[in-house]
Chain A
Amino acid sequence: MKVQEFMKTKITSVDADRSVYDAVEKMVDRRIRSLLVKFPGKDLNYGIITARDVVFKVLAKRLNPKDIKVSEIAAKPVVCFDKNADICEAAALMEKKKIARVFICDGNKMIGVISLIDIMAGALIMRARGSHVF
């Protein structure tokens, strides 16, 4: 089963020069745990900021999220996967890199994101189809 079948196509992003406060506002407002960070320049110049980064790198250290830029705590580069890659390969990569989501690309264009819950949904569907690969 290909990752594109299970990816989410809505990717919420934030510009790298915005404050962490802006990013938190977006995450809480949309009830999401991560944002794609857009750095200026060429295609695929992206990073990622997660709720974990915000809490551990800013809030737990009692820093003011309005004083810190997203670019200072974002992880870069993001892990990208081809849209035709198999869902099992994505799961293995997530396990190896200890990450909860990978972005899906079509050439130079980012088209979606797949997270742990999507992998689990995919695994259940494969079982129902009779192909147990996990």
Chain B
Amino acid sequence: MFFEKIMSISKKEQVVTNNMRKLIKLLCSTCDLFRKALEKDDRNLMRSLIDLERESDSIRREIISKIYEGAFLPYLRPDLCRFVEIVDHVFDVLEDIVLYYLDGKIPEQIKNECIRVAYLNLKCCEMFLITFEAMLKGNDLREKTLAIRIYEKKIDDIKFSLIKDIRNIPINNFWEGKILSDFISGLTSISDIIEDASDSLQIINVSMK
């Protein structure tokens, strides 16, 4: 593969790229499970997502330690670490919104829109995986990153209508309102972070050429 050819890949690099792939696939699975749990209002399934966040942490640690053991050329290492940190940040946000969900209740008026955002987040993650695979093959990422930006824009549009909608929902106390607000802002920020990660991927891709 292109990436492997350029980097004169050794075992360490292979471990890093495999783990990066594993991390992004885990992200897709987590987003999918989140969507299903939200759709079915399944709190146990939702709770299980916290374990996936822990798993992502351990993959991230493995990747970073392999990079610092000497995988890849030194000039690439900060960008690769940054990329992994951004992907890991998506898991952190997902864990936060799971906790908000378990702590509160999503009003029926906005439930369908929240499920739609969760579905688009999943599609965005799948496109991110396609982008990563394209980078490994040395393909142009322009069309892929554009698709991620389209998903992000779509979610942004829904976010503004959700913000308008929640103004009409009766809130009993400060914390109920705060939890709902934090849930929505977390749910709608996932695609922003994926967009950042795809930009970071683009930087890595360009700096290798």
Q: A128 to B198, alpha carbons, bound, how many Å?
A: 14
CB pair A121 B113 closer than 8 Å: no
Mask of B148-165 contacts with A, CB within 8 angstroms, 1/0: 001100100110010000
Interface of A is mostly: helix
**Residue from A8, A9, A125 within 8 A of B150 (CB atoms):** A125
Which of these binds chain A: B54-62, B93-101, B139-147?
Answer: B139-147
Q: A124 to B149, alpha carbons, bound, how many Å?
A: 11
A42 CB–B CB distance under 8 Å: no
CB pair B147 A129 closer than 8 Å: yes
The residue of chain A having its C-beta at the shortest distance from the C-beta of B153 within the complex is: A121
CB A107 to nearest CB in B, in angstroms, measures: 15
Q: A122 to B139, alpha carbons, bound, how many Å?
A: 21
Mask of B52-77 contacts with A, CB within 8 angstroms, 1/0: 00000000000000000000000000
CB pair B154 A121 closer than 8 Å: yes
A10 CB–B CB distance under 8 Å: yes
Mask of B180-209 contacts with A, CB within 8 angstroms, 1/0: 000000000000000000000000000000
Within 8 A of B (CB), among A1-25: 5-6, 8-10
Q: Using known A-B contacts A5-B123, A9-B116, determine if residue A128 contacts B161 with beta carbons closer than 8 Å.
A: no
Interface of B is mostly: helix
The residue of chain B having its C-beta at the shortest distance from the C-beta of A10 within the complex is: B161
CB pair A128 B146 closer than 8 Å: yes
What residues of chain B lie closer than 8 Å to A9, measured between beta carbons? 112-113, 116, 158
CB pair A129 B127 closer than 8 Å: yes
A127 CB–B CB distance under 8 Å: yes
| Listed A/B pairs (25) with beta-carbon separation below 8 Å | A5-B123, A6-B154, A9-B112, A9-B113, A9-B116, A9-B158, A121-B154, A124-B143, A124-B146, A124-B147, A124-B150, A125-B127, A125-B147, A125-B150, A125-B151, A127-B143, A127-B147, A128-B127, A128-B143, A128-B144, A128-B146, A128-B147, A129-B127, A129-B130, A129-B147
